[in-house]
A and B are shown apart, each in its own frame.
Chain A
Amino acid sequence: MKPVLLVSLYLTVVLLPLVLAASSGRPPRSLLNELASGAGLLAFSIILIEFVLSGRFRFVSGRIGMDVTMRFHQLLARSALILAIVHPFLYRGPFGYQRPWDVTRQLTLSTEFGDLTTGLVAWVLLGTFVLLSIARDQLPYKYETWRLMHGFGALLIAAFALHHALNAGRYSQDPLLTGLWVVLFGVAVASLIYVYLVEPLLQRRQVWRVASVKPIGLKTWELTLEPENHSGLKFEAGQFAWLNVGHSPFSLHENPFSISSASATGNRLQFMIKELGDFTRSVGQITPGTKAYVDGPHGNLTVSGSDQPGLALIAGGVGVAPLLGILRQLHIEKDRRPTTLVYGNRIEEQITYRDELATLAKEHGTQVIQVVSEPSDSWAGSTGLIDADLIMATFSASEMKGWLYVVCGPPAMMESVEATLINIGVPPYLIISERFDYD
């Protein structure tokens, strides 16, 4: 789906409860009471759409990128939290018993214990939940535990909020709005069912086996998978997949990795994995033949369809994985456009695929520029960071105006390189990037 359509659809669904409430024909109340209701309606609609944003649906993330979708998921949760926090404090009454001038109870706010309790539980859970999600990296939970808590915690919040909205909510008594909440809640539950049940079931039908695991650099491994009795994965060079090795597809033991192989080399999948977390630290112990499951392909860090006269690939550390896939694909397809790879690492031992990069330089004509920020005395290549000086020394003025720049690496490096490229005159629409960390 086109980004503009996606954004319009998102806004329409988020604002629809407000529109339905406004057109419900109910008598108006004080400004603060209306503001409180509006904030509650918006918070709930944002929360329910969060399930879809985090569901890895290609119709959502296919064009704007999984990283962008997930970043919006994180940011919008904060907006929902702020709206939800202010929601109960804005009400000014009248509360409680029925007034003689309000026989239909349109203007009196409910103080029914059950109706308010579910709202209070959802309110407390949402605050805790968003704060725990922001601080996830600092918490002692394994990724899998956190993911399970995140999915079911979100479902609990949505269920309590639904009960509160349908029972204590004034506008939500309107049949149209009631119907909308039920439909949106159904969509949220269906998204969870898809992620936790349907997707694993689909993966179970496509088993992969580990063909090899070998070290390719300091704390960096190459993991190769081969399909078992199926034709493999259709993907474009530069895309990534969620990888589950040695666990049931229902176990949530999966992590995103860029595919470093080219689709044109056959049906084997290759990943470059750096030791960083729970799973990656144990990659070296994986034995050939181990079962694996792949959820993918995802992402849009691809150059297919591009018509620029040259390609600049700028990588930091393990971020070279998708760019290597792109280079391999271009080489196999005999794409004759000039290519330059700028590959930065902290120390020389982290450099991977030296021989293959030398071969690509010789056979494909790729200009390979290795940059090391903490070089040894014997290092003969470029030193320092991938900065403006290096980029300006590497690319000519016409290359800066017309080539396609593909950037992948740690977040700080990507932000710095993107800003540098724009500052030295590379048109922003000629820069594509993808990240796996969002904060």
Chain B
Amino acid sequence: MIERRKKLPSHLRILATFWLFNAIVIAALFLFVIRGWTITS
């Protein structure tokens, strides 16, 4: 079956997804740290 969600050439699609992963991971890390900060303050 052909995947129909592609918007970019494959190598750029991989990089875009990779940076999306990183953004989500950084956002989660931020929330984790802020959680501690809000409790301490």
Contacts and interface: CB of A to CB of B under 8 A. Distances in A.
Contact of A31 (B3, B14, B17, B33): B33
A391 to B, nearest CB: 14
B4 to A, nearest CB: 4
Interface string B1-41: 11111111111001101100110110011001101110110
A22 B32 contact: yes
A22 B35 CA distance: 8
A15 B11 CA distance: 25
Given A21-B32, A29-B36, A430-B2, A79 B9 contact: no
22 contacts: A3-B3, A7-B17, A10-B21, A11-B24, A15-B24, A18-B29, A21-B32, A22-B32, A34-B33, A38-B32, A38-B33, A75-B15, A305-B2, A414-B10, A415-B11, A419-B9, A428-B8, A429-B3, A429-B4, A429-B5, A431-B6, A435-B10
Given A39-B29, A305-B1, A79 B21 contact: yes
Interface string A81-96: 0000000000000000
Interface string A7-38: 10011001100100110000011110011001
A71 B2 contact: no
B24 A415 contact: no
Interface of B: 1-11, 14-15, 17-18, 21-22, 24-25, 28-29, 32-33, 35-37, 39-40
A111 interface: no
A418 interface: yes
A35 B10 contact: no
A435 B14 CA distance: 13
A301 to B, nearest CB: 11
